[in-house]
Amino acid sequence: MRRPAVLAALMVPAVLAAAPVAGAREPTTLSATTLEHTAFGPVDARALAAHWGLREADVARYRRYMALEGRYFYAHLDPVLVLGLIETDPEQRVRYAERYLAGERRRIGEQTAFANLVADVQRRRYGREPPVDFSILPQAAGSPEYRQARARRLGLPPPPDAPAPPHPVPPEPATLQAGDTVDFLVEPHCRTACYDRLRAILANPKVRVLLYGRGFPDDAALVAWLEQWPDPAPEAVARVEPRRFDPVVFAGHALAPLPVALLRRRGVVVGTP
């Protein structure tokens, strides 16, 4: 009679050992996440022909052409326009033109209808607003054609012609100070005038010169130009740093007579030395 009780007493620890501990977590498993994205596969010839109002033979011809030559020039055009461009038969060409015109008129109608809807929503939400005067923008202020068109639209007298100066106004002369840098532009044919100006600038012992060469075949030619400077002071030459021509540095001054010297103080052009 005691045997079942003994078996039950032996089974209780086994069951407790097999049961999960309260609060214990299952080990986490890592798995790859499937990324879903839109993929554009090939379109059936019948569906493509039905969409563009073409025949399946037209679609086959379009695909043959786009497989080689057309993909370099006409990949951004729709099939009807491409077929019209490559068609040689006058009657077929007219058919493509009619189909293309019908599609364009439909698309333009949809676009203008939506634009009118946007304008109507704007009026209902914000009321009547003053028109935007684009002539106040810097881009329009420098456009004579825009100013003339605006004057005609508003019934104003035509604006006076304001031809741009041949060269930008050069910066004002400035006094060299210790720590200044001078951007100095030369060309191979500029000799005496450039050497004399360079000597005058380097007379200030605390000024550094960045020598830019324009029209030199390579950097070595610019260094040779500097070495041909007659009787320079060695200390002055040590403060000259040859550099390759950079049009950004001389933007607006590249057409000025040589030599071009821009006095730069703390990175900003403040004048000419």
Kindly tell me the burial class for residue 54, based on how many C-beta atoms sit within 10 Å of its own C-beta (0-12, 13-18, 19 or more). buried
Residue 33 has pLDDT above 90, yes or no: no
Residue 260 has pLDDT above 70, yes or no: yes
Q: Which residue has the higher pLDDT, 38 or 164?
A: 38
Contacts by residues 190-193 (CB-CB < 8 Å, ≥ 24 positions apart): 190/258, 190/259, 191/228, 193/258, 193/259
Q: Which residue has the higher pLDDT, 48 or 267?
A: 48
Residue 36 has pLDDT above 50, yes or no: yes
pLDDT digits over 43-62, tens only?
Answer: 889 999 999 999 999 999 99
Mean pLDDT across 63-89:
93
* Structural domains of the chain sorted by starting position, each given as residue range(s) with its CATH number in brackets: 45-128 (no CATH), 181-271 (3.40.30.10)
Pair 94, 87: CB distance under 8 Å: no
pTM above 0.75, yes or no: no
- Report the pLDDT value the prediction gives residue 160, as an integer from 0 to 100: 72
Residue type, 32: A
Q: Which residue has the higher pLDDT, 14 or 173?
A: 173
pLDDT digits over 84-117, tens only?
Answer: 999 999 999 999 999 999 999 999 999 999 999 9
Question: Which of 89, 93, 83 minimizes the C-alpha distance to 62?
Answer: 83
Mean pLDDT across 239-260:
86
- Report the pLDDT value the prediction gives residue 167, as an integer from 0 to 100: 47
- pLDDT-derived band at 273, boundaries 50, 70, 90: confident
Q: What are 242's two structure tokens?
A: 């040859």
Q: What percent of the chain is modeled with pLDDT above 70?
A: 81
- Report the pLDDT value the prediction gives residue 4, as an integer from 0 to 100: 54
- Report the pLDDT value the prediction gives residue 51, as an integer from 0 to 100: 92
Query: Which one of 34-43, 113-122, 172-181, 245-254 scores highest in mean pLDDT?
Result: 113-122
Q: What are 251's two structure tokens?
A: 């933007």
Mean pLDDT across 23-34:
66
pLDDT digits over 1-15, tens only?
Answer: 455 554 455 554 555
Max Cα distance, the chain (Å): 129
Average pLDDT score, the chain: 82
Q: What are 54's two structure tokens?
A: 């073409």
pLDDT digits over 185-215, tens only?
Answer: 999 999 999 999 999 999 888 899 999 999 8
Residue type, 77: L
